[in-house]
Amino acid sequence: MSDIRSIDDINARIKSGDVVVVTALEMKDIVAEKGPEKAAKEVDVVTTATFGMTTSSGAFLNFGHSDPQIKMGGGEILLNDVPAYAGLGSVDAYLGVTQLSKAHKIEYGGGHVIEDLVGGKSISLKAYGSSTQCHPTREIKGEFTINDLNQAIMVNPRSFYQRYSAATNSSDKVICTYLGELLPNFGNVAYFSTGSMSPLYNDPTYETIGIGTRIFLGGGVGYVIGEGTQHSPKAMSGSLMVKGDMKKMKQRYLRGASIKNYGTALFVGGGLPIPVLNSNIAKNCGVTDEEIKVNIYDYHIPTRVKPLVKKTNYKELKSGKVVIGEREVKSSGLSSIKIATEICEKMKEMIEKGEFFLTNPVERITLESVTKPMKLLYVKASDVMSPAVTCSPEDSLKDVAKLMLEKKQDYMVAVDKQKRLQGVLTSWDVTKSIVTGKTKVKDVMTLQNVKTSRKDEPIEVSVRKLEQYGVRGLPVVDDDGKVLGVVKMRDVTYKVKG
């Protein structure tokens, strides 16, 4: 696609006051009405933004040297009672937003210290170091404000995170998650992101975003410094690492957060200008809430892979109601569309006034990286399962009872010819058949809601299911429902006992 203008052309227009800037939401209407070709001709820059709760954020702080000097590096640093990472030079620290205060726990954390710093409040410093010949002081106490620091540089390893899943809860108990409280029996749906206003949805191929892209960060100016952690652009789940001078930031756009029974975080306001260099970029900026798909998962299952409840999109989520099965469930976000809209407007104004110029990235963001799960040594269901003793639902109970005695089994799995799970049969079911006079397996076996396990399921999860549902065993099935084995409490205790 040939470009119709360059970033330098845009900057020249910013300088002359002729630049045409629109917000992400305005651009959607323009593209829908006039098409991408015409939109690209008319618009120079689109402002996109997000204001969401972030956990991978923090700041590098330099305190200056004490007299006599202290080597806090390798020691311990507390800022308003919140520990900061001290494994750096003698008076440097990195304060992460999820770090909890030693005394106040989740009521106050690193995110709150950052908000207080930016708000101009005085912060207490306590530090302990090892006494060396050149740095003899062991312990210091002090008070400082952001102006007393040599540097306060925000560096967020994961920012502008593109894709989040939404959450709900099918169980009969309230659960507390990083998306807040999830009420029982599909009581609510919680989601993140501002959807189609969110920066990376507007340039999903990173045509204009790269290392060195100037952005709006926390009310000041920041820069993209590379791909973010968990950057996975192929899955439309990109992220950026960003930095900015915290001394120029504003409290309105950086707010400490406490999430009940979960921890602390920081709401970060971030804005990204997208230069409309060609009609393809204009087309991408036309993306709508309806086009952005979101999966709603059931968070009552604590495994990484959770059951999918519904495939939806941001249009439905933002409407405040999501239809799950027969019912309408209230939905609300944890990213502020209100403040993100404000940031889009603010950036637009800054660019129009000539206070904010665009930059040419010096390097592209990778499009290849893929996020892998953690590699852990854990016991899986397949490690402890025993071979399933199977029968057919059509078998006579007498034959099966004989087989159970022969094989010393009190738990049988009924399968079809393809070895797919049909039901389970316990010795209790056989006992019942004597009373009821039933003769076939299919008449007495448990058919519905058979609890199952998967072969790579952590054994802790299988044990929880065995306890929770009071069942004797869990058939281990693959994606096609084929039975691979059975996990029984006895298998687990044998394994643990060695």
Residues that bind another protein (CB under 8 A): 51-53, 180-181, 183, 188-190, 255-260, 265, 267, 320, 329-339, 341
Q: Which is nearer to another protein, 201 or 267 (CB)?
A: 267
Residue 32 exposure: Cα atoms within 13 Å on the Cβ side = 10
Q: Find the radius of gyration of the CA atoms of the chain.
A: 29
Contact of 344 with 197, CB cutoff 8 Å: yes
Q: What is the full DSSP assignment across 117-167? A: HHTT--EEEEEE----SS--B-EEEEEE-GGGSSEEEEEEEEES-----EE
As measured in angstroms, the least distance from the Cβ of 336 to another protein is 4
CB nearer another protein, residue 149 or residue 197: 197
Structure tokens at 391: 């029968």
Shortest gap between Cβ of 343 and another protein (angstroms)?
A: 12
Query: How far lies 290's CA from each of 95, 206, 232, 323, 421, in Å?
Result: 38, 21, 22, 15, 38
Rounded Cα distance between 51 and 216, Å, is 11
State how far the Cα of 473 lies from the Cα of 389, in Å rounded to an integer: 12
Please, which residue, 127 or 339, has the CB nearer to another protein? 339
Provide the total of helices (H) and of strands (E) in the chain, helices listed first. 13, 31
Instruction: Indicate the residue among 333 and 475 with the shorter CB distance to another protein.
Output: 333
Q: How far apart are the first and last CA of the chain?
A: 64
Phi-psi region of 193 (alpha: psi -120 to 50; beta: other; left: phi over 0): left
77 vs 296 by CB, closer to another protein: 296
d(CA 288, CA 202): 9
**Minimum CB distance to another protein smaller for 85 or for 262:** 262
Question: What residue has token string 């696609």?
Answer: 1
Q: Report in angstroms how near the CB of residue 392 gets to another protein at its nearest.
A: 47
Smaller CB separation from another protein, 254 or 384: 254
Residue with smaller CB distance to another protein, 109 or 485: 109
Q: For 248-380, where are the alpha helices, taking DSSP H only?
A: 279-285, 314-318, 337-352
Between the alpha carbon of residue 44 and those of residues 10, 59, 125, 178, 279, the distances in Å are 6, 33, 47, 38, 11
> Which of 134, 176, 285, 391 is the catalytic position?
134
**Whole-number minimum distance, CB 327 to another protein, in Å?**
13
**285: annotated active-site residue:** no
Among candidate residues 214, 212, 215, 241, the one with its CA nearest the CA of residue 227: 241
Q: How far is the CB of 348 from another protein (least distance, A)?
A: 16
**Best CA proximity match to 383, nearest among 274, 273, 325, 462:** 462
Distance in Å, CB of 24 to another protein, minimum? 14
Distance of closest approach, residue 390 Cβ to another protein, in angstroms: 45
Shortest spacing between CB 353 and another protein, in angstroms: 23
Angle between helices 489-497 and 459-469 (to 10 degrees): 140
Quote the CA–CA distance of 281 and 36 in Å, as a whole number. 8
Which sequence positions are flagged as catalytic? 134
